[in-house]
Structure 1
Amino acid sequence: MDREEVFSFLNNMYKNILIDMNVDEISNYFIDDYVQVTDGVKSDLEEFKKHLFTLKNIVKTISISPFYDLLFDEKSNVATLRYIVHVEKRNGECGDVEVIALFELNNSKIVRCNELTTPLDSGSGLEDIGRVSS
């Protein structure tokens, strides 16, 4: 994949998986042995799915800014993104979270994601939104 293909792939993944929360689409984007580390907390694919189901239950809406930074190293197949997620929870809490994510790709699928999240609004109740799970 080149930079433009990766940009399109990741945009589609975020729309289908995070914004639309279409868990049935996960196999189109992630390998079975997928590993995610968010704010130091490691998850496998099943734990990632639980995270999405939890988000479905507690979040009213999620939107994502355009990617502010997208760096892609074709040799290592690693993409680095920075963007803002706007979250409105069902309990009325809302705010923005900055995300910096590194994606390792192989054969047009995500192998691993390391991400750091930082709530931009103090007291928004979003401190653990990137790793919340039931």
Structure 2
Amino acid sequence: MNKAQATTFMTTLYRDVMSRFALDQLDHYFTSDYTQNTNGHQMDYKQVKQHLTNLQKNLDHLVFSYFSDVVFDEATQTITVAYQLTATQNNGHQALAEVISIFTFTNDKLSRCHELITPLMQDDRSFIDLALK
């Protein structure tokens, strides 16, 4: 995979899975042994699926900025993306966060993610709490 392909893959993933919650598409994007580390909290593929199901139930919608930074290493098949995210909960509360994620591709699917999420609203940990449920 090259940088253009990886960026297109990530843009489509965020649109389909994260914004539209098309959870039936997960196997298209992730390997069965996918692992994710968010702010030090480790999840396996089954836990990530449950996490996304919880987000779907608790959020009215997620809005992603365009990737402000994209770095792709073709040799290691890793892509680093940075963006801002606005989450609107079902109760109307909004949270804004900055996210930096490093993903690893294996056989054209994501096999690993390491990400840091920083709330951008003063004293607002609600997004972090949602991210780790």
Range of TM-score over shorter length:
over 0.9
CA deviation digits over 1:67-90, x for unaligned, max 9? 000000000001001001111101
Q: Spell out the pairing of 1:51-130 with structure 2 (5 A cutoff).
A: 51-124=51-124, 125-130=126-131
Q: Counterpart amino acid of 2:132?
A: R
1:47 aligned partner: 47
**Greater helix content:** 2
Q: What do you get for the CA RMSD once the two structures are aligned?
A: 0.9
Letter in 1 for 2:60: K
Q: CA deviation at 1:11?
A: 0.4
Q: Deviations over 1:74-133 (max 9, x none)?
A: 00001001001111101221021110000000111001000000110124422322222x
Give unmatched runs, 5+ long, in structure 2. Answer: none
TM-score under structure 1 length normalisation:
0.95
Residue of structure 2 equivalent to 1:13: 13
Identity rate, percent: 30
Aligned amino acid, residue 51 of structure 2: H
Measured after TM superposition, the shift of residue 64 of structure 1 is 0.3
Whole-angstrom CA distance in 2 between matches of 1:89 and 1:120: 16
Alignment-derived partner of residue 31 in structure 2 = 31
CA deviation string 1:12-42 (max 9, x = no partner): 0111111011111000000000000011011
* TM score, norm. by length of structure 2: 0.95
- Runs of 4+ aligned structure 1 residues displaced above 4 Å come to none
SS of 1:91 mapped into structure 2: coil
